[in-house]
Amino acid sequence: MIQASANIINSGTSSRLDIDSFHVTEMSNVLKDPVTSVQLDVSAFRIDPSTIRSFAIENTERIYGQLYLVQDFLNVSSINVLRLLGIAQRNVFIASFQEVEEAIEEAFIRTHYDIVPERTHEDFQSGYKVRMDRVKDRLHEYVDIDLPAVEDGDDW
Amino acid sequence: MTYSFSPDERLSQGDILRGVKLVVNVHDPEINAPRYDDSHIIVLSRNCEIDKPIKASTGTNSVSVARVIRLIPTSPGLGDIRKNRIVNAFFLPGSEYIEECYVDWRTTQPVDKSNLMVLRSQNGNYKCTVEKEVLEDLFESYFIFFTKPE
């Protein structure tokens, strides 16, 4: 097993990334995933997907984070920031404006969150039912009295 | 173990703080006027919500909390609270960090995140943090509070 260190800065992502080190596992005989496997000489290694995601967040976040900061500071839209930086042409049409905005937002979201399928009424119903089934036999044991609103003075 | 004590950590889910200005009651039905007072609270929001940049425009400038109320020998429902049989309360045992108390689910409300972060870092305002397994029990209690059949 090879161990390498990675310093991931937590800056308000979808989960707290307190990763001080990560593991790269040798996987010579394991099916190689083109995203998570690395070929070094004759050996292949698998990098933990969460580590890849962490690096993606760190690097992409820097770019989009700066873009958001500039937007905030100048109170302008993303397309104007891109124009300012010389990335977008000055004659970009309004139709493109919306596309750029959406692309930036989409990229920002995808670097911060695991995108999951749409949650349907059935999904919520099954989740709720599982929870209720688990506690239904004990619900009658509760005492549904009205506790008075207590003044405890906060001096404790 | 029910609590941990980590005064140098960031604001986190399960933190118990004192001296937080909260709505402790409402009056005047027409304007729903709040009455504020200092209170102990427990942080309910998930850590990723807490970590989001503080911006009023995105609603990420507040954190959901509930009041933590001290139990005294004359507290109404004392025995039932200790046995966690009261629907709107979750019991927290006494320890070296905090006196015996309970979370009152009826008092859940948003508070200013930046102020909470400052209070967390100040000596005397941070009490302790509820450990993960107890926190899971606590949220199970929260679920029952909102979903218990009539």
Which residues of chain B have a CB within 8 Å of the CB of A148? 76
For residue B82, list its beta bridge partners. Answer: none
**How many CB atoms neighbour CB A125 within 10 A?**
10
Q: What are phi and psi of A14, to 5 degrees?
A: -70, -15
Q: Cβ A145–B80 below 8 Å, yes or no?
A: yes
Q: Which stretches of chain B are DSSP H helices? A: 47-51, 78-82, 113-121, 132-147
CA nearest to B25 within chain A = A149
Mean pLDDT of A106-123: 78
Q: Measured between beta carbons, which residues in chain B are less than 8 angstroms from residue A15? A: 47-48
* From A12, A139, A152, residue closest to B53, measured CB to CB: A12
Q: Any bridge partners for residue A4, and if so which? A: A22
Q: Which of B111, B149, B90, B128 is nearest to B7 (CA)?
A: B128
**Nearest Cα to A131, choosing from B84, B64, B81, B149?**
B149
pLDDT tens for the 150 residues of chain B, in order: 899 999 999 999 999 999 999 998 888 889 999 999 999 999 999 998 999 888 888 888 999 999 999 998 888 889 999 999 999 999 999 999 999 999 999 999 999 999 999 999 988 899 999 999 999 999 999 999 999 887
pTM: 0.67
The pair of three-digit structure tokens given for residue B27, joined into one six-digit string: 């009056």
Q: Which two tokens stand for residue B1?
A: 């173990």
Chain B residue numbers touching A152 (CB-CB < 8 A) = 39-40, 69-70, 72
Is the distance from CB of A46 to CB of A25 less than 8 angstroms? Answer: yes
Q: Which of B24, B89, B149 sits opposite A147 (nearest CB)?
A: B89
pLDDT recorded at residue A9:
32
Residue type for B106, please? Answer: R
Among candidates B18, B25, B144 on the partner chain, residue whose Cβ is nearest the Cβ of A149: B25
Q: Take residue B109 and report the two structure tokens written for it.
A: 């409300």
Q: Indicate the residue type of A136.
A: K
> Which of A16, A148, A154 comes nearest B51 by C-beta?
A16
Residue B125: exposure state from Cβ atoms within 10 A (0-12, 13-18, ≥19): middle
Q: Decide if B48 and A141 are in contact by the 8 Å CB cutoff.
A: no
In whole angstroms, give the CA distance from residue A72 to residue B150.
Answer: 49
pLDDT bin (cut points 50, 70, 90) of residue A130 is very high
Q: Angle formed by the axes of helices A94-112 and A49-74, to 10°?
A: 140
